[in-house]
Structure 1
Amino acid sequence: MMNKPHAILVAYPTQGHVNPMVQLAIKLASKGFSLTFINTESIHKQIISSNPTRDTSHIFSGAVNGSISDFEYVTVSDGLPLEYDRSLNLDHWIGAMMHTYPAHVEAAVAKVVKLKPFTCCLVADSYSVWASNVAKKYGIFYVSLWTEAALVLDIYLHYHLLKENAHVAPGTRRDIIDYIPGVKSLKTTDLMSYLQEDDMTSISHQSIFGAIDDFSQADFILSNTVQELEPDTTKAIQAKIPFYTIGPLFPRGVTKRPVATSLWAESDCTQWLDTKPNGSVLYVSFGSYAHISKDELVEIANGIKLSGVNFLWVIRPDMVSSDDPDPLPLEFKNEVRDRAIIVMWTNQLTVLSHPAIGGFLTHCGWNSTIESVWHGVPLLCFPLLTDQFTNRKLIVDDWKVGYYLCDEKPVKKEEVSQKIELLMRESMGARLKKNIKDAKQILEKAVTIDGSSEQNFDDFIKDLKIGVEKKLSLSFDC
């Protein structure tokens, strides 16, 4: 008897983690899985508020192959009131994600498993601290989705070596790190921001270390990267855990995401971009999560103004703080109005695909990094938090597809202007674009039918099927 396999997917409730989980859901559905997608009520409310024309009950409506009856969408509380400002109270939110949210997720999983007898796996973001225990409790496989670079995972998996060699607190060494398997060398400034801090006891550190312990117990880890882009680190990880590179996980060849996931209303900048010469516009965005200080923002703004380039700048309402939704200098917008468009949010894939875009001033989030490489846009790096410092190493040192915005802090407007001119200048842009073209071809080849990411995903499905059939003596049709 052939049965349709069922998977439960749980997204980590931030923009940069929801997006790849949604794409994985669509990919699993295309392979014949029935699905239950669990989202938080707060993220669902924000998505619906920002996308008023979409179905308010089911963000996947019309976007998934097969019957919508095979695709259930569930929302649960994260443990905080809907109106609570999570951005302004980050520690409270992280605490809720560790101690309150897991109970709500487990209750939802229990209901699904009871109603769906052919549930074979729980797919959860690797930054979950609860997933391995829930999967074990209900006798299903735990599939962990790693949404960052393989290099970041490799470093976390060998955190104990950093401690033993005193390259993280309470150690004081600042020399080159050359003992992590799969990594030739790292500077301490290449480590994730949390590993550069003196205090390793914060709620953020508790969450990260808890997640490492949890995903280390996963039956399978899927990764939003490409093995040819990070070959040595991929091999090093595969020597320790079952690791499948299946990226890049974003909709390709489309100007609009098939599933509404944007947490802010998107401005359409296409008409403005259409008026600008090819390669003349600098795209500026510091992502959906990290904050920047007002002093840094003002200095960057003045540097952009000084550079004289055309630019499109995304400044979300809590970029500095929810208490300061319009942090730019009062005169700035008026002074640059003839060569700039400043918006709260936009469709990044649409922007990066536009021929007017010549460079990307970025926080180096992983989604932004691979989306920029995919569209052949060189990067100017200003990391703010967590993995972004490690991604900067990949961008600047390993792939050579971008530059540092500032070599040392504090950031100064003169250096910002100089680096923008360097990025956007024709001769230097050509050298970067040669390197980024090579990286882009690696990504494109990986997602072809015979490409590594497609083959790895098929291998994962096959290995999951074998494991489930062995465990439950069932035959699944996938």
Structure 2
Amino acid sequence: METSNSSSNSNSISNSNSNSNSKKVHAILVGLPLQGHVIPFVQLAIKLASKGFSITFINTKHIHHQITSSNASAFDGGEDIFVEARRGSTGLDIEYMTITDGLPLEFDRSLNHDQWVGANIYCLQAHLEVAVCKIVTSRPSIRCCLVADSYFVWASKLASKFGLVHVSFWTEPAVVLDIYFHRHLLKENGHIGLGSSARKDIINYIPGISSLKRTDLTSYLQEEDLTTMHPQYNFASLDDTRKAQFILSNTVQELEAHTISAVQAHVPFYAIGPLFSPEFTKSPVTTSLWAESDCTLWLDSKPPGSVLYVSFGSYAHIGKEELEEIANGIKLSGVNFLWVIRPDMVSSDHVDPLPTGFRDEVRDRGMIVTWTCQKEVLSHHAIGGFLTHCGWNSALESIWCEIPLLCFPLLTDQFTNRKLIVDDWKIGCNLCEERPVTKEEVLIKTKDLISGSLGHELRDRIKGIKKVLQNAMMTEGSSNNNVDSFIKDLNVAFDKKN
């Protein structure tokens, strides 16, 4: 286990505006070891520390190794990813710690999902328990809470063992949590759990959600066999989340008001998103798991709004056949494009998952990289649209940059996020109406998004959604108010507890 020193003046702030350290809250933060979860967890740590919390941020050695090895120049031998954050904001009390998840550093977790899930259930829990014991013993506080990712199955048990208040951090929209909380209704009504015989009609009985299609459910709820490892893990983690005293979420109150009310009937829920860095494109904490290519010069050479950005996120996989159809559709469309293709994105023995000759044929108008800084890309004036897997971080970042979305969900919450983007907010469209995708659909949708009427319509609507995000982030906006309400309610919980 490794630790680094926290801020030297960590006792200078109190979240209750008091000089008494006995009132200062110590929060232990541990997120699911995936980039899409690490990013909002880092921003949450900074947010809470800026409000006077004392933070211990626990990362896995594997994630830490990926970050530091991919961004060696940013660390220069340092082992603490929060050094710059503390330097740039006097008074942030953030201690950084790494623990093993039980798997070798070199082990490919992305392509061995079952082993990775097993490690999260058993090995990570054991190492975290040892770490929490040391933290609680070395820094005794009557006001200590465990802020754990909602996708852990053991968080409530761990918090209870050490007498900590259990705060769950939900990194996705409230609608996904609402669906999981009411999955018993889906089962009772025959929309899940019946294999191929499950009902396909509209779902209109979940509190806080007017209507859903079965294809809007998360990928695990759509599976024919819900007794397999991954659905069962998700169900167990969400059942554990219902035991939390509080839930924080990286969503926006005004975007999901009715759904949030339905969730609040079960657990106190606080929408505190979007959790962006103040400068948006420049975070004081490096979180990228791969070396980033600088695409600025190439984008500078392209006309405004002429480039399609293509990325399917940091974890989800895509089949080679579908990838080839997308590639051929983009080629036929004639549009400029910037495409992020991770080395592990396609489960295939092929060295290059793209069609033979594709790179040469599109060399004059396409740039293909293994990773890049997405916020910088989306902020560039050359970007006119985003072909996306519909990850929640990607959705929020696109809204902020007013970039319309072409949706191709692959896994977990992405199918439900697509519903919000396309059906509810109408700021994106489906890449295809039914799978598998065809090059003809990609051709038509890509051209219409970048240079047709579709793109203009979506861009007009996305401005209004961005305004909702901006208002929420203001000093008196809903997100800041909800953070303050959470802090007040948390202190009340501590007072009752003691």
TM-score by length of 2: 0.92
* CA contact 2:306–2:451 (8 Å) conserved in 1: no
* CA contact 2:409–2:418 (8 Å) conserved in 1: yes
* CA contact 1:50–1:265 (8 Å) conserved in 2: yes
* CA contact 1:79–1:96 (8 Å) conserved in 2: yes
Q: Does 1:145 pair with 2:134?
A: no
* CA contact 2:102–2:124 (8 Å) conserved in 1: yes
In 2, Cα distance between the equivalents of 1:252 and 1:430? 28
Q: Does 1:46 pair with 2:72?
A: no
1:66 Cα deviation from its structure 2 partner: 3.4
SS of 1:110's equivalent?
Answer: helix
| Stretch moving more, 374-383 or 423-432 | 423-432
Paired residue for 1:476?
A: none
Give a deviation string over 1:405-453, Cα, whole Å, max 9, x none. 0111111101101011111124322211111001000001000001100
In 2, Cα distance between the equivalents of 1:463 and 1:281? 46
| Aligned residue identity for 1:167 | H
1:19 Cα deviation from its structure 2 partner: 0.4
1:454 Cα deviation from its structure 2 partner: 0.6
1:322 Cα deviation from its structure 2 partner: 7.3
Paired residue for 2:272?
A: 246
Paired residue for 2:470?
A: 444
In 2, Cα distance between the equivalents of 1:196 and 1:297? 22
Counterpart of 1:104 (choices 127, 149, 155) is 127
1:257 Cα deviation from its structure 2 partner: 2.1
SS of 2:58's equivalent?
Answer: strand
| Stretch moving more, 442-451 or 203-212 | 203-212
Paired residue for 1:15?
A: 35
Counterpart of 1:455 (choices 459, 472, 481) is 481
SS of 1:184's equivalent?
Answer: coil
In 1, Cα distance between the equivalents of 2:372 and 2:420? 26
| Aligned residue identity for 1:76 | I
1:326 Cα deviation from its structure 2 partner: 2.7
SS of 2:55's equivalent?
Answer: strand
Q: Does 1:2 pair with 2:20?
A: yes
Paired residue for 2:234?
A: 208
In 1, Cα distance between the equivalents of 2:462 and 2:38? 26
Q: Does 1:62 pair with 2:80?
A: no
| Stretch moving more, 460-469 or 308-317 | 460-469
Q: After TM superposition, what 4+ stretches of structure 1 lie above 6 angstroms from structure 2?
A: none
> How does 1:70-109 map onto structure 2 within 5 Å?
70-109=93-132
Aligned residues: 471
SS of 1:200's equivalent?
Answer: coil
* CA contact 1:318–1:325 (8 Å) conserved in 2: no
> How does 1:232-243 map onto structure 2 within 5 Å?
232-243=258-269
> How does 1:75-474 map onto structure 2 within 5 Å?
75-118=98-141, 119-170=143-194, 172-321=198-347, 323-324=349-350, 326-472=352-498
In 1, Cα distance between the equivalents of 2:407 and 2:387? 6
* CA contact 1:95–1:203 (8 Å) conserved in 2: no
1:6 Cα deviation from its structure 2 partner: 1.2
| Stretch moving more, 117-126 or 181-190 | 117-126
1:153 Cα deviation from its structure 2 partner: 0.5
SS of 2:420's equivalent?
Answer: helix
1:468 Cα deviation from its structure 2 partner: 1.4
1:67 Cα deviation from its structure 2 partner: 4.9
1:117 Cα deviation from its structure 2 partner: 1.2
1:7 Cα deviation from its structure 2 partner: 0.8
1:328 Cα deviation from its structure 2 partner: 1.1
Give a deviation string over 1:254-302, Cα, whole Å, max 9, x none. 4222101100001111111111111100000000011000000011000
In 2, Cα distance between the equivalents of 1:186 and 1:255? 34
SS of 1:121's equivalent?
Answer: strand
* CA contact 1:189–1:389 (8 Å) conserved in 2: yes
* Greater RCO, CA 8 A, separation 6+: 1
Paired residue for 1:25?
A: 45
* CA contact 1:313–1:342 (8 Å) conserved in 2: yes
TM-score by length of 1: 0.96
In 1, Cα distance between the equivalents of 2:64 and 2:118? 20
In 2, Cα distance between the equivalents of 1:218 and 1:323? 43
Give a deviation string over 1:214-256, Cα, whole Å, max 9, x none. 1110011001000111111111111221000000012243422
In 2, Cα distance between the equivalents of 1:14 and 1:316? 14
In 2, Cα distance between the equivalents of 1:83 and 1:158? 39
| Stretch moving more, 281-290 or 52-61 | 52-61
Q: Which runs of 5+ in 2 are unaligned?
A: 1-18
* CA contact 1:265–1:346 (8 Å) conserved in 2: yes
SS of 1:62's equivalent?
Answer: helix
1:372 Cα deviation from its structure 2 partner: 0.4
In 1, Cα distance between the equivalents of 2:99 and 2:345? 27
Once superposed, what is the RMSD of the aligned Cα atoms? 1.3
In 1, Cα distance between the equivalents of 2:351 and 2:84? 35
Q: Which runs of 5+ in 1 are unaligned?
A: 473-478
* CA contact 2:145–2:167 (8 Å) conserved in 1: yes
| Aligned residue identity for 2:312 | F
1:324 Cα deviation from its structure 2 partner: 4.3
